[in-house]
């Protein structure tokens, strides 16, 4: 008789994820992982990271980690639930910047991360340690141990990602995106292993330009994905022409392409030839199936909006039953 743990070692799913949609899909996978005998590995964008108050903040890693730990603030979509804001009030008294709000519990994560990084640990090791402390069962990996910083060009010039996204509420049209440091950054050995060993690679319903796009911009990443034995399946972050959250839809307008399920397919097929095998789109967009199939992708149309935990588990179970060998 095989133990569940042995089974878990046999099937591996690797997800490329940003914060919000990535966290939800990762959570769905984590929910169904025990029953399906697999442990998901979540490779997370770190291009949105920033330094504030002398601390390294990794918003996407933290959103995924808090979600998987059951600590996420469901109302805001970021940060920790049952949060308090005393340190932020005091920081404001000292005139420190407060536009990027950090709760007291959240702050502890950044303190520990920063201290361990300064002591010489890699972000990969630090992330695994933090996640383990919070009881996260899935494997959480930063895309790289080297800093990559996404910047967005607007009519006001180049802005740091969080300056654009949080401070200015992504109100400025994104005219261009660049990933500072990406040329000298590398996917970690752990990420490359997780891709090579995967039975299935998923691209989360995250922003194709600044979440998935950042991960795919890492030197060697596309080669690693194309060389992987596993099918690569993306989930569209656009439903009925709109992003469920964030500026992905407006970025299609300003950066080129179309904010639609077909536009997502075209984006991936044209920018990253021979990468995707399939695209999961929302059932509400099923009229796009023929056009997407003509681009050479397998298409699955189903409910992709994850409003509840049940939705998350259902989407994960459905994708895995269709694509996990």
Instruction: Indicate whether 277 belongs to the interface with its own copies (CB under 8 A).
Output: no
Q: How far is the CB of 74 from its own copies (least distance, A)?
A: 18
Check residue 114 for interaction with its own copies (CB under 8 A): yes
The residue (of 115 and 156) whose beta carbon lies closer to its own copies is: 115
Asked whether the beta carbons of 242 and 249 are under 8 A apart, the reply is: yes
Closest CA to 278 of 222, 268, 270, 20: 268
User: What token pair was written down for 124?
Assistant: 């990969």
Question: What is the token pair recorded at 221?
Answer: 């990443």
Could you tell me which stretch among 42-50, 102-110, 161-169, 219-227 binds its own copies (CB under 8 A)?
102-110
Angstrom distance (rounded) from CA 65 to CA 43: 11
Instruction: Write the DSSP assignment of 232-266 as a string of letters.
Output: EEEE-SEETTEESSSSHHHHHHHHSS-SSHHHHHH
Residues 60-99: x where in contact with its own copies by CB under 8 A, - otherwise, as a string: --------------------x--xx-xxxxxx-xxxx---
112 lies in the binding site for its own copies (CB under 8 A): yes
Binding status of residue 118 toward its own copies by CB under 8 A: yes
Residue number, 31 or 112, with CB nearest to its own copies: 112
- How many residues of this chain interact with its own copies, rule: CB under 8 A? 32
Provide the CB-side half-sphere exposure for 323 (13 A, CA).
Answer: 30
The CA distance from 192 to 225, in Å, is: 9
DSSP 74-110: TTTSSSBTT---HHHHHHHHTT---SS---HHHHHHH
Query: How many CA within 13 A on the CB side of residue 223?
Result: 5
Among 8, 37, 50, 53, which residue sits at the site for its own copies (rule: CB under 8 A)?
Answer: 53
Binding string, 129-148, against its own copies, x = CB under 8 A?
xx--xx--------------
- 304 HSE (CA, 13 A, CB side): 28
Whole-angstrom Cα distance, residue 68 to residue 57? 18
Smaller CB separation from its own copies, 107 or 230: 107
Select the residue interacting with its own copies from 35, 108, 223, 283 (CB under 8 A): 108
Query: Cβ of residue 15: shortest distance to its own copies, in angstroms?
Result: 24
Which two three-digit tokens encode residue 258?
């179309």
57 belongs to the binding site for its own copies (CB under 8 A): no
Is 135 or 290 the residue whose CB approaches its own copies more closely? 135
Q: Is the Cβ of residue 84 or residue 308 nearer to its own copies in the bound state?
A: 84
CB of 109 to its own copies, least distance (A): 7
Using CB under 8 A as the binding rule, whether residue 125 contacts its own copies is answered as no
Q: How far apart are CA 129 and CA 290, in angstroms?
A: 45
Nearer to its own copies, 90 or 175 (CB): 90
Residues 122 and 146: their CA atoms lie apart, in Å, by 9
Beta bridge partners of 187: 144
Least distance in angstroms from the C-beta of 19 to its own copies: 19
Q: Which positions lie near its own copies, rule CB under 8 A?
A: 53-55, 80, 83-84, 86-91, 93-96, 103-109, 111-112, 114-115, 118, 129-130, 133-134
């Amino acid at each position: 008789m095989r133990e569940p743990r042995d089974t878990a070692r046999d099937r591996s799913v690797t997800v490329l994820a940003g914060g919000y949609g990535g966290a939800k899909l990762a959570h769905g996978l984590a929910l169904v992982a025990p029953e399906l005998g697999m442990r998901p590995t979540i490779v997370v964008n770190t291009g949105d990271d920033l330094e504030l108050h002398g601390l390294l903040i990794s918003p996407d890693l933290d959103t995924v980690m808090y979600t998987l730990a059951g600590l996420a603030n469901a109302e805001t979509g970021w940060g920790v639930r049952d949060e308090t804001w005393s340190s932020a009030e005091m920081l404001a008294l000292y005139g420190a910047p407060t536009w990027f709000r950090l709760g007291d519990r959240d702050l502890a994560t950044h303190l520990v991360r920063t201290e361990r990084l300064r002591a010489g640990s890699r972000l990969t090791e630090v992330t695994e340690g933090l996640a383990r402390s919070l009881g996260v069962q899935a494997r959480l990996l930063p895309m790289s141990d080297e800093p990559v910083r996404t910047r967005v060009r607007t009519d006001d010039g180049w802005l740091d990602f969080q300056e654009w996204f949080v401070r200015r509420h992504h109100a400025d049209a994104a005219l261009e995106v660049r990933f500072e440091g990406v040329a000298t950054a590398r996917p970690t050995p752990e990420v490359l292993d997780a891709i090579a060993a995967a039975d299935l690679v998923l691209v989360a319903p995250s922003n194709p330009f600044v979440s998935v796009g950042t991960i795919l911009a890492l030197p060697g990443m596309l080669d690693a994905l194309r060389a992987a034995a596993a099918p690569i399946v993306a989930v569209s972050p656009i439903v009925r022409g709109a992003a469920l959250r964030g500026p992905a839809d407006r970025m299609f307008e300003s950066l080129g392409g179309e904010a639609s399920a077909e536009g997502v397919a075209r984006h991936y097929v044209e920018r990253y030839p021979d990468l995707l095998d399939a695209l999961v789109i929302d059932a509400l967009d099923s009229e796009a199936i023929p056009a997407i199939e003509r681009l050479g992708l397998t298409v699955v149309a189903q409910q992709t909006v994850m409003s509840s935990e049940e939705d998350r588990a259902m989407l994960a179970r459905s994708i895995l039953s269709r694509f996990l060998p």
